[in-house]
Structure 1
Amino acid sequence: MTPRSLYKLPNPHLLITTMIFRVLGSYLEYVSRLKSNLARIQSLLVQ
């Protein structure tokens, strides 16, 4: 890719922000899954 074709992209910052949001979304999904798993283990230990 030449530098000139990079300028033709809609918005480089938009690409970066969407990548960041995608990473954040997957991280939050992982954290919520981990929390639900911990809650499940805790309830099993309590019984």
Structure 2
Amino acid sequence: MLHGIDTVAHALRWTQPGLETVQTGAGRAVGLLHIEPLTSVPLGVDLASGT
């Protein structure tokens, strides 16, 4: 699970269940989203909004 945390307000902004993060940088996290057992799809998530 990936969590987006606002470090200024010290608050949890968003979560992305099932995402195994592989790389972060340039405002985006990239990883594998586990959608069912033994099945994953690549996914990029905006770090500011979680979309």
TM-score band by shorter chain is: under 0.3
Relative to total residues, which structure has the larger strand share, 1 or 2? 2
TM-score normalized by the length of structure 1:
0.18
Which structure is higher in helix share? 1
